[in-house]
């Protein structure tokens, strides 16, 4: 598997975007690119900073879950972006960035990718990747977010064996999605460009301009689901999202709006979480 060269990546991203890139770093090994950027000084408003890793020793998912990506087998990328304001609705942002990842993959001729609310990237009914969006603490005037993208590119057989042994959810890599997988450098450039575009668009208009696209890639729509959220557990039919990116679920009794939660399918309770 090819290496990640920060100079190559920097030189390939578009000039307009490069002008907004404060720092881009590549680590051979690091605990977590998200944790690293959360500890770094925030970029100035409208600017961004990127950290990539070949291997994370403590890659993180939501709710203290683990993100496992053996060395050189995937994309581990985090972007810090500082908004020019404080009022940003983070749940909707994660959805918008998911659409950005799909757009990046499409530009690399990889189609058929779907999103499972709120942060899973799905292909062939399994998890191809995930998104972790976190806000930097302590900001007063401008909100800085760090968003981490984990994407499986070419997983070793041992990872698939682990999936079976631990009853982990089905995992998929890009090799399964295309005969001609992009290099991790090409993938990095495409993802960085798309994430930045999404940040700027979201900053201007929130989730609304992403809503129609979400409907096209919504993997949960119409499925019978179970939601475990702050208010407990409920079951029903997933019915899309609203203009804030909240999940709508039709239960036997009412329609509910879910802002935070983990989703499982009623038919496959151990499915992608
Ligand atoms: C996510 O969390 O899916 C967000 C993953 C974000 C990872 C990136 S990598 C760069 C940046 N730095 C970090 O430290 N994190 C970000 P969640 O929805 O909580 O899913 C986590 C669950 O996915 C785990 O509990 C496993 O079941 C499963 N999982 C772990 N590694 C996986 C992999 N490589 N492929 C598919 N599923 C995986």
Distance CA 192, CA 196 (A): 6
What are 157-190's pLDDT values in tens digits?
A: 888 776 665 556 789 999 999 999 999 999 999 9
Residue 67 beta carbon below 6 angstroms from any ligand 1 atom: yes
Predicted confidence at residue 91, as pLDDT, reads 81
What are 126-140's pLDDT values in tens digits?
A: 999 999 999 997 767
Predicted confidence at residue 229, as pLDDT, reads 85
State mean pLDDT over 142-157: 95
With the most atoms of ligand 1 within 8 angstroms of its CB, the residue from 31, 34, 59, 61 to mutate is: 61
Q: Please report how the helices 184-205 and 90-107 are oriented relative to each other, as an axis angle in degrees rounded to 10.
A: 140
Atom of ligand 1 nearest to the CA of 120: 3
**Nearby residues of 80 by Cβ (< 8 Å), 6 or more positions away:** 37, 38, 40, 42, 43, 48, 49, 50, 136, 144, 145, 146
Least confident of 84-93, 123-132, 230-239: 84-93
pTM, two decimals, is 0.95
Q: At residue 230, does pLDDT exceed 90?
A: no
Distance CA 166, CA 155 (A): 16
State mean pLDDT over 85-106: 92
Mean residue pLDDT across the chain: 92
Q: At residue 103, does pLDDT exceed 60?
A: yes
Between residues 76 and 1, the one the model is more confident about:
76
Distance CA 31, CA 11 (A): 27
183 CA to middle of ligand 1, Å? Answer: 21
Q: Which helix (H) or strand (E) holds 201?
A: helix 184-205
Residue 95 C-beta-side C-alpha neighbours within 13 Å = 31
Predicted confidence at residue 140, as pLDDT, reads 72
Distance CA 28, CA 30 (A): 7
With the most atoms of ligand 1 within 8 angstroms of its CB, the residue from 30, 128, 130, 174 to mutate is: 130
State mean pLDDT over 260-272: 78
Residue 98 beta carbon below 6 angstroms from any ligand 1 atom: no
Predicted confidence at residue 272, as pLDDT, reads 62
């Amino acid at each position: 598997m090819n290496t990640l060269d920060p100079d190559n990546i920097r030189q390939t991203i578009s000039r307009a975007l490069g002008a907004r890139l404060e720092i881009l770093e590549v680590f051979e090994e690091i605990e977590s690119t998200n944790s690293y950027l959360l500890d770094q000084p925030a970029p100035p408003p409208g600017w961004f900073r990127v950290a990539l890793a070949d291997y994370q020793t403590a890659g993180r998912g939501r709710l203290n879950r683990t993100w496992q990506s053996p060395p050189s087998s995937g994309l581990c990328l985090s972007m810090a972006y500082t908004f020019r304001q404080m009022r940003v609705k983070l749940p909707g942002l994660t959805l918008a960035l998911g659409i950005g990842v799909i757009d990046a993959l499409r530009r690399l001729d990889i189609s058929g990718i779907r999103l499972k609310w709120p942060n899973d990237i799905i292909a062939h009914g399994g998890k191809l990747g995930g998104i972790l969006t976190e806000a930097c603490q302590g900001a007063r005037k401008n909100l800085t977010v760090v968003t981490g993208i984990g994407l499986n590119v070419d997983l070793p057989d041992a990872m698939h064996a682990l999936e079976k042994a631990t009853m982990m959810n089905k995992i998929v890599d890009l090799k399964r999605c295309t005969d001609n997988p992009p290099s991790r450098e090409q993938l990095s450039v495409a993802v960085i460009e798309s994430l930045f575009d999404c940040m700027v668009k979201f900053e201007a208009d929130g989730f609304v301009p992403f809503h129609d696209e979400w409907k096209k890639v919504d993997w949960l729509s119409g499925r019978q689901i179970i939601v475990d959220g702050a208010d407990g557990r409920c079951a029903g039919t997933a019915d899309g999202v609203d203009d804030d990116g909240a999940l709508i679920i039709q239960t036997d009794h009412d329609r509910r709006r879910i802002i935070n939660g983990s989703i499982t399918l009623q038919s496959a309770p151990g499915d992608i979480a």
